[in-house]
Every structure is written in structure tokens, then in C-alpha cells.
Structure 1
Amino acid sequence: MQDLVSKHFAQFFDNVSESIYSFPTMMQRISENLHLIADDIHLGRYSTTFTLPISKYEPEGLTNSTVSYTSEKGFSEEVFEKSFVTAEGGVVTTKLNPIKGYTWSEEEKISLNHLCLLSFMLCSRTRLMGLMYKVQRSDSLTGALNSTGFQEIAGSLIQDGVIGQYSTVFTNIKNFKIINQQVGGHNGDIVIQNFCNSTSEFLGENGFFSRLGGDNFLALVKTSILQKYLAFLQDINMTLQVRGKEFPLHVEVKTGICNLTPQSTMAEVMTNASLALNVAKKSAFKDTVTFSPEMFEQTMHDKRIASQFHDSLENQEFLVYYQPKVDLNTSKLCGCEALARWKRDKIIPPAEFIPILETEGSIRSLDFYILESVCKDLRNWLDRGIQPVLTSVNFSKIHLSNLKLEDEILSLVSRYQIPKHTLEIELTELSDYQYYDRLVAFVTCMHDNGIHISIDDFGTGYSSIKLIKNLQADVIKLDKSLIDNIKITATHNPDKIVSSAIIKMANELNISVIAEGVETTYQAQFLKQAGCAMAQGYLYNKPLTHDEYEQLLTGNRTYDTKRNK
């Protein structure tokens, strides 16, 4: 009999032990196959009870669950019970009852013990596989879905033909780096956890929420509650404990949305809302943007530009154009700005490629390429006896993450033996404080080495006052947006007031001011009267080719401001 029982146990184990991730499925499979051994061991009733620690990864339906099997022959009240302790301190208990009117012998109880152990092994294996399955599909910090889990659910919705009932919502927490700096990394994790928990709770059965990493979250939301969900995202508040004090925090987000259709693919589910979010993140006015097909076309265009850049740089397809700067008091040429142009089938203006290179980081290579080209031109003019004017070269603020930036610039200038007073590095004004300390150190070093520093687009960021007060900048450039609205017809003009105030403040701090985008004599006259030192714009010259600019250097350097060029 023992051999027969062992044979049936082996068949029972084979039938049940295949890879199963769902605990309820495991219990159902055990129940379905107990008939193989039930008669041999006179089994009337079987039950297994689990008391296990709660975990964010615990497979559903496992904690505190009991599953039973009952024979048609009925069962006796006599109980054979066996308990096993799990590694986490949980308890798995199996209870067996003989068929009605039967009592197990001590020898038969050996087989019962075998069955209990086998049951524990099978269930533990299923539990482990269930945990592994969930871990692979869950975010370790929050327990929310990760990218794998999210795509699996989206795939099921697509396969079931119901994906058109949903919208994808890609969310990013605004200024999360600053929040981390304010409250510390541990509290930053708590912000992420609270955000995930509250958002998942709000969605409930109306969607699926995932964390893709960092402060980036992707949700599938039933379109019927989309507007309520967006309103919820604008009203998330929490209180943290920071250095023993309560720290109230209102979480602000940027959001990209894609309204799905029954024909939506996995690529559209995962990508389109992300493209919309990128647009929102670049906007100073829109926190929520809905995907449109034009965004995809723009993305493809941007990728083409980025992929062509490095070969074009090696092939020297980038040219330097020079836009003159004019002294408003003397109307004489007093400087110029070196501007990049991309020559392919036609001349491509910087607005079409600079933002793309900024986003993907290649702007670093272009900036140094332009600086070296300028150094070559300056060296050539000096060797031929042509006296250059102060030449400004643009450098993106992303260079500030390079701690060797100063050395690399000074090394390049020294290689061509360029008088340092003929060069100016023009930096875009910071729109946040991320690089502020690094900016101060860089400006100080350049200033100490005799290279001029100009702050571009001044007046467009909230850090303007702090910059002008603390930096040793030589020049600040008034942003074109302030100049455009300076017109004769304007009576009460806020841009005039702001421009005049900036010019006055800079002059008192011994910082020169240049206005860009000057196109009319009225603008030039207003700026001169306000105390602005220099101007550049189409009133004087458009950006000039190398040869055109050289003719200007070797000719009459005085401008007739009474006519618009």
C-alpha cells in the first residue's frame, strides 16, 4: 500500500507543481488532484490556512486564506494537524480529517505527514513565484506598477479591445530636485510614496498607476473620470517632518495626456503622453498638454537633427556668422556676437537646431567648435593687422556641470594666443538656482583671467536681481522680448519701465548693458536716453558672413542710425 500511495503522491506532485503564480489557482489545482490520493489514505477533508505577514509584494488572495476539499463520503471530527513556520514568521497550517467512521493508524499518519509537507512545499513554491512575479512588475520604493507591469496591463486592455476607454496620463513633479534639497533625500522618498499612494487610491478601479522611475509617473485612466483625475493632481498636499518641524508641501505637477482609441498600439500608449509632457515641461504657461500628431512629427524632426549633428560637425558644416554691436553714444562698431549657422542644402538658422542640441547635450561640442572657429578668425585678423573688436561667444549653462570648463576655455584661447580682452563668454541667465554657486565660481575665474562675461536674456528669469547683485559680470544683455514692445505709439509701456529700471540699476553697479533685437531708430533713441551703452539688431546689421564682417572691420566702422539696415 505504501508503494501505491507513494506512486499517487508522485503523480499528484507532477500535476500540481508546474509554475503557478496565483495562489488561488494553486489551491484549486490541489483540490482538483486530491482524488488521486484521497481513497488510498481515506481522506475525508483537507484544508490549509495561511497566516502571513502583509507585504506590498504579497500575491493577492494569500494572506489569511483557507481553502478546503471535502470527500463525498463525508468526514470524521478526528483531525490530523501540521503547522510550518515561514522564514518571515508566518504560519502555514494543514488540517486533515479521515472519512466518516475511519481512524488513521500510526503508519498511515506517516503518509499524512508526507502530504502536509508536500502541501507546504507546493504552496510555498507558488507563493515565492508569486512574489517574484509581482516584484518583477512593481516599483521597489512604492509598490506601484513599474514599466513592465504597466505594459503588461496595457497589453491586456489592447488585446481585450477596451483600450479606447482609457487615456494615458504622464506626470512629472515640478522642481522635485529643489524639494529634495529642501527636505532631504529620505523625505523626498516619502513624497514619492505619498504621491503614489494617494493617486492609486484615487484611481481605484478606474485606472492603473505606475512609477517609471524618479519623479515620473504613467497612468491609464478611464476617460470618463479624466477631468476629475487632472483636478485631483492639482490638489495634492502633504505634511512632512523636517528637522523636527512640520513642513507643509503642495505638490505641483506637469502633465502630458493622450486620449486613446480602440486602434491605439502599445507604442502610442507608452510614447504619446510622454511627448505631450515634454511640451508641457518646456512651457512657462501650460502645466497640462494634450498630445497632437504634430508633436510626433516634431520629435522625428528633432531626432533627425540630433543624429546628423556629429557627422556635420566633423565635416565642418557649421559656420560662424558675426552680428555687430554698436556703441549707442558714438554709433561706432564696438563688438560682435558669434552665431552658429548650419550649412546643408541651405543655411539652417539656430532656432531650428540649438534647442534640440540643448536638450540632448550636444550643444557642448558645438559651443567649443564655435569658440575655436572664432579664435582661428581672430588669430588670422591679428596676423594680417586687422584689429578685431570684442567678440562674444555663446555658452550654454549646461557647461557649468563641467568642473574643468574654465581650464578648457583658457587652454583653447592660449593655444591661438588670443588677447583675452578681445573675448567675451555669453551665458544664458539661470532660470533656477541649480547652477548658481557654480556660475559664480566660473564668472569669477573668467573675470580674474581677463575674459569678459555677459549674461544673456537678462530680465526673463526670477533670479535676475540676485545675479546682477552678486556676479562680477561685465555686461548684461536685455532680452529681445523687452525691446519688441518699445514703440512710439505706446503711452504707458511696462517694458519701457522695466528696461529703464534694469539699465539704471546696472549702471549704478558699473555693469554695461546691451540691448538685442533693436530694429527701429525710436528703440535706439529710447535706449540711449535711458543710459543703455550698446545695441545690436537689424537696425544696424543682420548676422554677417565671415567675409561680410571682415569688410566691416576693414572699412568704415561708423553706422548711420537714421536709416534702417
Structure 2
Amino acid sequence: MMRFKQYKHRKAITKTSTYRGQDDYSIFYDLNPEAAFILKSDGVFISLNKAAEKLLGGAKKDLIGLSLYQFIDSSLVNNTIDSIKTLMLGQDSRSISTIITTPQKTSIHVILYVTSYVNEQGIQKLACIAKNIEDIKQYNSKLLKIKNNLNELQEIVKGGIWHYNSHTQKLYWSKQVSKILGIKKRITSMNELEQYEYLLKEQDLKRLKSSINNLYFKGRILEVSCPIKRHDGSIAYIRIHGKPIKKGDQLSACLTGVIQDTTEYHSIKNKLIEKNIQAENLYNQIEEIVWSLDMTTKKIIFCSNDFEEITGWKLSDLIGPNELWKETIHPKDKDHVTAAINRLLDGKQTSFHYQFYHASGQLRWGHFKAYPILDSHNKLIRLDGIIQDITCRKEMENKLLHIAYHDHITGLPNRLHFEETLQKKITLAQQTNDTFAIFHVDLDRFRHINEMLGYEIGDDLLQYTASRLKEHSHSDYYISRISGNEFAVILSSCELAEAKHQAAKYLESLRPVFKIKDYELYITGSIGIALFPKHGKDLEHLLKNSETALYHAKNGGKNTFKVYCSTMTTESKHRYSLEKDLRNALQTNQLFIEYQPKVSPETQLLTGGEALLRWKHPKLGRVSPGEFIPLAEESDLICHIGDWVIENVCRQMQKWESEGLPLIPISVNISALHLTKVDLITKVKQALTHYHIPPYLFEIEITETSLIQSSELIFSRLESLKQLGVRISLDDFGVGYSSLTHLLKFKLDALKIDKSLIANLPQKKEDSIIISTLVRMAKGLGISLVAEGVETTAQLEYLKQEECHFVQGYLFSQPVSPLNFSRLVKKGILPVQAH
């Protein structure tokens, strides 16, 4: 009868749907948690919901127009077609058991619930729901498991159930209660309870009777914990819990509850108390402050004795309502300490170094580390922490740091400090569009003074020189000694005219005699000058160009200065000529693209490729990318070349597809300058659209220089590319300045390990550790990892062992022409090349 009613209901739906359009089924498939879809009479998808996309392993736009029968297991497809045709003849509804095979080769046993209907245009269509049988089986299995767990619950919690009916005066309890109390009976009357009064002490018995009266007459909850003495003389601890049973809003004549054996709990509790006493004694012996704070009551649970000695304060004074702790923090540390405390109060572990004032006024260093304790609802209930006095350690670190970063003769910063300072200066200047100058100052004939008069005189001369340079410096200056007789100076906000004026002042300051012991020494200096960004946009170029200028100053007769210019060396002339030819190369088809495969180390399957720009000069032949790319990056030429590469790669991908080749991801290198151009996003979008290239198959590789600028403009460009669906990869990772902050902020898809880290694998332990760490980090962040420059089977085996995702290198293939790359795609699996 039930089936007949359901059948009539389905017929009614079918009949009604004859007069309704397809849109009436939008709720049927859009809001249905099961996979739901609408089919034409021939089984072709018209519409489907998110659950159907997930079941079939494809996007809605790709599935519409395909046939359901393409996904049915070949052994069942005919039966499925016959069943659907039969129900269509009678405009019926029925369920069909079948197997769906997804594009990922996964077989899923489903029940198809199919209803035939006719829309308002008179076209017969099918409405389907697909239920995963495995889900049903899992649900039934969970129900059975819950049932078994409930049956075993009393045994697990070491508790039993009791029930009292005031009408019958009978008290029932479960087998587990009898076991806990050491009683064989499981049912008795109220007046027989006196025989069991031996179980409880007199005061506990009175408390229990009073609680039972409150339970019965006042409807309160019964909750009593006490020890009992069983008939066999053994001592146990129990917890009795009970409440009246309600019928609607009224209390019934029945009481019910549980009795739980808490003997083990009391034993553990006593041991914990003992351990806490031992821990407290231990904490008071160590030279660190151990503390614990209850966040619900704002009361101190524990604080070791050393707190007062190290800080001079009581913890209760510092964390009281006046928040005195803020006043003890050194002003320069207040912001980062406050931020760290706020993170701690948000439930995040925190650790930091800070300076604080002792109650005596003495400034000290502390290391603060605290752990938030959360309840089951993630609410902060306690803070546990440690504070160390690290004043002595910090003083020693500062001394060592000063030694590491300063010249022991002049006291000036050394070359290491200079290069770090210069790099920071470059980064800041890039953000503020500032200019600055760097000077290389060399003392002429200093080596002769050392050889003739000895190193002691030479050291004194260096000290006096440092003093004169500082005395005659620009108001905002930085001076360091970077080698034997060479000083480096950074002058902020300095244009060319001012740089020349300052150089002349330096040379003039060296002219007066240096009186050292019994000697009167006359020296001169030579100075090389380079300006940022005119003479270099990074540390390497600025240093190189200022050194080149210094070389020309010394060759020009010494006691003079030279400002760097690009024509100073033969190399500079060559570079100038090459740049001019490069501008013509785009117009005369001298540039071309080769493709280097990306390979899975596990399967040796070709999974993608990198587009590499090449230049065949009409006179010089093939010019190294390492030579012409930097030239292009010094001007907007790199942007024009980048646009050309994007267009040609997309055109080539379309050509491969037209030849029947499967499309695989191809990556293109984009410079930092190109990323700043407003039309880059438009050019990428137009190329992908024009050549019908899916965005997820197009990858853009950027350098670490792009990220360390950290400008909002770069972030905006990368965000726009991600919104197009394009993948973003960071090239040459592991040897530059990128940090985890950059990786998280820019949401990169892939990292390419620089070949310099691969070259010595697996022999070089340090590189192996770095690679292993990078692999784990990439997996943790969900980022693909590509190893570049793989040339030996030993490197391949190591990367395979570390589960690196992809590799590139001559071991599989050098960069090849588009034709040869298409041949490699057809092969699929690339063999290792013999060396």
C-alpha cells in the first residue's frame, strides 16, 4: 500500500510537471544535498548542482552537453539506458542501481532516482537524484556503532543507573551499581534500605538523606560524593547523581539517576596534589619565573619565588587593575610587547625578548614565553608562562654582535654591516623613491706606509682617517671600513651635484698632515661614486659600479674622484652596443622561445614546461640570457619583450592543441618591472581569451626581487592575476630574501628551488637539509615544489626520496624547440639522458 501511495505521488508530480517549465526544478537540484541533475531524453546534461559536479569530478560548464551514459560503467550502461527508456515510455519514476566512473577513474556505486516529465514546450526530460550507496552503508554502520557504544557506556564510565517509583516504593538499580556497592541484590523497597546504611559514614548518610528529601519534595538535583565501606571491608569513593522525572511541566512520582565509582579519580587526584607540591618545590628552585594565572577569576594560581627577586615586584601588583606591567616595559618595546600580549589573550602562544625596569630602576632584559590554555569551547581559561632574566646573555650577545659587525681598529662598521645597511637603504629608497650616493674611498700609497713604518702606524692612520671622514661628512651619513685601506660611505638624499661637492670635501680633509707618534704623514685619497638608482638598482650593481669608478679615479692619477658612467670599461661599451641591438631584435625576429620540460621524479611523466627566451644575434650568434636579460631589465624593453613572450606562448599552445596534443601547463618568466605595468593584466587576459587557453594551464614565474619590494602595487598585480585563474610561481627560491610572510601574503602556487642548491646533492649535507626543509614547508603550505638544474641520477633519487613534486634539468632534457617539445609531449614519459 505504501509503495502504491508513493507511486501515485510520483505520477502526480510527473503530471503536474507537464505544465511547468524547467525552472520549476531549480530548487530540486540547486538546494538538494544529493547529486541532482536534469537530462534531455537522450541522457545529455542540461543542468546540475554542486553535489553533482563533485560526484562526476568536473565543473558544471564542462559537464553540460555531455551524456550521463559516458560516466556509467561500460558493463552496466546498456541496462541503465534500457531502464530509463522504459520509464520514459510511461512517464514513470523509478530507482536504478548502477556504477558511475569518474574522469579520475574512481568507481562509485549509486542509486539513480529518475523521474520523467514533459516541460511546457512539450519536450520530455529527466530529473535525477544520485545517492552514493557507500554513504548509506557508512551511515548505517555509524548507527550500529552508536548503539553498541550506548550498551557499553555503563561499563566504560564505571557507573550504573538507579530508579525509584514512589507508588510502588520500589528502588531498582543496574548490575553495575551492585558491583560498585558490593551488593548482590538489584531491587529492594525503601524500608529495606536501612540494612545498607553500613556503607556510609554517619555524616555522609545524613547529607545523602537531606539531599534525597530536597530531590523528592523540592525538585532539586541530587549530587553527593562520599567514601563507602563495602561489605568485604574495601574502601571506595562514589558519586550519586539524581533528579525527578518530569511529565510535561509537572514532576512525576519517579526519581532516576546514576551512581559512579570515582575511586580511581580520587587516587589520581591525590597523586596530582602530591605532584603539584613536588612541582612547586622544583619551580622555586630553578632560576626562572614560573607562573600561572586563572583568566576566569583573574587570580594567580602559582608564581615561583624568583619573580620578586628578578623583577623587584609582586606579580599581583603588576597584573592588577592598574596594569602596572605596562609601566615597567621599556618604551621602545611597548608596542611589540602589547601586540604579543594581545595575541596571547586571543589564544595564541607567544614568546619574545623585551627590556624592563626593575623596581630599583635598573634596566634588564627578559625572555617572556606563555601558553594559553583553552576549554572545549576555545575559551581562554588560564595562562601558564616562564620569564627568564637574560640580561647577562644579551650583554654578551651585544658584545659579540658588535665584534662581528665592526672593525676592531677604527670602531667603524665593517663590510658585512655595510652590505646589510646598503641593502636596507635600497629597499627603503625603492619604497620612497629616494636617491642616495655611495662612495668608495681608497687611501693612496697606504700599503707603502704599512711596509715602511709598520702596522701599528698604519692602524693609527686608519683611525685618524675615519675621524676626518666623519668630521667632514654630510649631515645624514654612514661610514664603514670595508677592507684594508678602503672606506665606504652612504650619503642619504644625495643628488649628483651634492655628491661631487662632498667628494671634494673628503679629498680636502685628507690633505693636512697626519701627526702620528714621531711621524708627519701626508696621504691622498681616490673616490669612486655611484648613485642609486641611476647607477644600479641593487646592491651588486651599486658596489660594482662604484668600484669601477674608484678604479678609474686611481688610474686617472689618484687624489681625485670619478662618478660612474657606462662607458668606463670595454664591457660597458659592449653592453651599450648589445642593448641597442636588443631593441632591434624584436622587430627583426631574432628572438625565439625554447621549452624545457618539467617532469615528475616519481613517474618521469612530462607534466609541464617552462618557456625560455633566446636571442640569435646576426653577428654574435646565440647571446646568453644572463647577458641580455639584465640589459632589458634596466629599461622598459623588458616589458615589451615580456608581452611578446606571453603572446607567442599562448599562440604556440593553441597550435599544439590544434595538432591533437594534450595541453599541459606552461610557465613564463615576468620581471619585477613588468609587474608594475598597469596593462600587464589586460595583456595576459587578452592572450588567454584570444587563443582559448584555460588560465590554470598558464603559469607566471616571478623573481624574489619582485617580492622583497613588498609594495601594495605588486600585491595588487599578483592578486589580479590570481583572480584570472593564472598560477603564480616564485623562481630561484632558497638563495634570496623571501620569507614565510611573503609566501603567505602572496598565496603562491609553486616554488622553484634554485639550481645552486641542487648542484651538490646529495653529497653536501647543508644543501640536503635545506631541500628537505623546503619540501616539508611547501607541503605544509599546499605549494608545489620544482627543483631546477637536475643533472645526475643521484640528485633525482634524492629528490624522489624527499617527495619533491617536479624536476627540471638536463638529466631529462635541455630546452628544446617547440617542434621537439611537442614530440616529448607525445612520448609522455621521458627517459633519463645518458651523460
Indicate yes or no: 2:812 matched with 1:540: yes
Flag the 1:328–1:453 CA change in 2: closer, same or farther, 3 A: same
Tell me what 2:828 maps to: 557
Q: CA shift at 1:522, angstroms?
A: 0.9
Question: Match of 2:586, SS?
Answer: helix
Flag the 1:228–1:312 CA change in 2: closer, same or farther, 3 A: closer
Choose from 524, 530, 542 the match for 2:802. Answer: 530
Tell me what 2:594 maps to: 321
8 Å CA contact 1:388–1:553 kept in 2: the answer is no
Q: CA shift at 1:195, angstroms?
A: 5.0
Q: CA shift at 1:564, angstroms?
A: 3.5
Q: CA shift at 1:417, angstroms?
A: 2.0
CA distance in 2, matches of 1:274, 1:315: 30
Q: Note the 1:187-336 alignment, pairs <5 A.
A: 195-197=473-475, 212-213=495-496, 219-220=503-504, 221=507, 225=523, 254=543, 255-256=546-547, 257-258=550-551, 260=553, 270=562, 273-274=564-565, 296-336=569-609
Tell me what 2:382 maps to: none
Higher relative contact order (CA 8 A, sep 6+): 1
Q: CA shift at 1:434, angstroms?
A: 2.2
Over the aligned positions, Cα root-mean-square deviation in angstroms equals 4.0
CA distance in 2, matches of 1:375, 1:186: 40
CA distance in 2, matches of 1:508, 1:389: 25
Flag the 1:538–1:463 CA change in 2: closer, same or farther, 3 A: same
8 Å CA contact 1:454–1:475 kept in 2: the answer is yes
8 Å CA contact 2:600–2:606 kept in 1: the answer is yes
Question: Match of 2:742, SS?
Answer: helix
Identity over the aligned pairs, expressed in percent?
Answer: 28
CA distance in 2, matches of 1:336, 1:520: 20
Q: CA shift at 1:478, angstroms?
A: 0.4
CA distance in 2, matches of 1:297, 1:402: 33
Flag the 1:260–1:388 CA change in 2: closer, same or farther, 3 A: same
Question: Match of 1:430, SS?
Answer: helix
CA offsets, 1:249-288, max 9 Å, x none? xxxx9543135468669xx9645x456xxxxxxxxxxxxx
Indicate yes or no: 2:739 matched with 1:470: no
Q: Note the 1:429-468 alignment, pairs <5 A.
A: 429-430=704-705, 433-468=708-743
Q: CA shift at 1:181, angstroms?
A: 8.8
Choose from 766, 771, 778 the match for 1:494. Answer: 766
Indicate yes or no: 2:622 matched with 1:344: no
Q: CA shift at 1:303, angstroms?
A: 0.7
CA offsets, 1:314-337, max 9 Å, x none? 111101000011011211000000
Question: Match of 1:482, SS?
Answer: helix
Question: Match of 1:319, SS?
Answer: strand
Q: CA shift at 1:177, angstroms?
A: 5.6
Tell me what 2:784 maps to: 512
8 Å CA contact 1:431–1:462 kept in 2: the answer is no
CA distance in 2, matches of 1:323, 1:348: 18
Tell me what 2:650 maps to: 375
Tell me what 1:9 maps to: none
CA distance in 2, matches of 1:229, 1:177: 21
Q: Note the 1:170-181 alignment, pairs <5 A.
A: 175-176=424-425, 178-179=427-428
8 Å CA contact 1:521–1:564 kept in 2: the answer is no
CA distance in 2, matches of 1:303, 1:187: 24
8 Å CA contact 1:423–1:452 kept in 2: the answer is yes
CA distance in 1, matches of 2:472, 2:685: 48
Tell me what 1:409 maps to: 684
8 Å CA contact 1:430–1:436 kept in 2: the answer is no
CA distance in 2, matches of 1:518, 1:337: 15
Tell me what 1:235 maps to: none
CA distance in 1, matches of 2:588, 2:431: 46
Q: CA shift at 1:542, angstroms?
A: 0.5
CA distance in 1, matches of 2:683, 2:703: 19
Q: Note the 1:411-426 alignment, pairs <5 A.
A: 411-426=686-701
CA offsets, 1:484-521, max 9 Å, x none? 12144x4xx11111111011001111101000001111
Q: CA shift at 1:449, angstroms?
A: 1.7
Indicate yes or no: 2:662 matched with 1:387: yes
8 Å CA contact 1:332–1:557 kept in 2: the answer is yes
Residue type of the partner of 2:722? H
Q: Note the 1:149-164 alignment, pairs <5 A.
A: none
CA distance in 2, matches of 1:360, 1:182: 19
8 Å CA contact 1:504–1:531 kept in 2: the answer is no
Q: Note the 1:51-62 alignment, pairs <5 A.
A: none
8 Å CA contact 1:540–1:564 kept in 2: the answer is no
Residue type of the partner of 1:196? H
CA distance in 1, matches of 2:655, 2:432: 54
8 Å CA contact 2:596–2:612 kept in 1: the answer is yes
Residue type of the partner of 1:560? P
CA distance in 1, matches of 2:588, 2:433: 47
Structure with greater Cα Rg = 2
**TM-score (normalizing by structure 2):** 0.37
CA distance in 2, matches of 1:185, 1:360: 19
Q: Note the 1:74-153 alignment, pairs <5 A.
A: none
Flag the 1:560–1:310 CA change in 2: closer, same or farther, 3 A: same
Question: Match of 1:337, SS?
Answer: strand
8 Å CA contact 1:400–1:435 kept in 2: the answer is no
Flag the 1:219–1:369 CA change in 2: closer, same or farther, 3 A: same
**TM-score (normalizing by structure 1):** 0.53
8 Å CA contact 1:426–1:453 kept in 2: the answer is yes
CA distance in 2, matches of 1:513, 1:428: 15
CA distance in 2, matches of 1:330, 1:196: 63
Structure 1 residue ranges without an equivalent (≥5): 1-171, 202-208, 231-252, 276-292
Q: CA shift at 1:451, angstroms?
A: 1.1
CA distance in 2, matches of 1:533, 1:200: 46
Structure 2 residue ranges without an equivalent (≥5): 1-420, 438-470, 480-489, 512-521, 529-541
8 Å CA contact 2:752–2:788 kept in 1: the answer is yes
Q: CA shift at 1:371, angstroms?
A: 1.2
8 Å CA contact 1:520–1:564 kept in 2: the answer is no
CA distance in 2, matches of 1:540, 1:361: 35
The number of residues matched between the two structures is 337
Flag the 1:313–1:260 CA change in 2: closer, same or farther, 3 A: same
Question: Match of 1:353, SS?
Answer: helix
Residue type of the partner of 2:810? Y
Tell me what 1:399 maps to: 674
Q: CA shift at 1:425, angstroms?
A: 0.7
Q: CA shift at 1:402, angstroms?
A: 1.5
Tell me what 2:631 maps to: 356
8 Å CA contact 2:760–2:767 kept in 1: the answer is yes
CA distance in 2, matches of 1:352, 1:185: 28
CA distance in 2, matches of 1:186, 1:400: 22
Q: Note the 1:12-91 alignment, pairs <5 A.
A: none
Residue type of the partner of 1:299? S
Residue type of the partner of 1:503? V
8 Å CA contact 1:515–1:532 kept in 2: the answer is yes
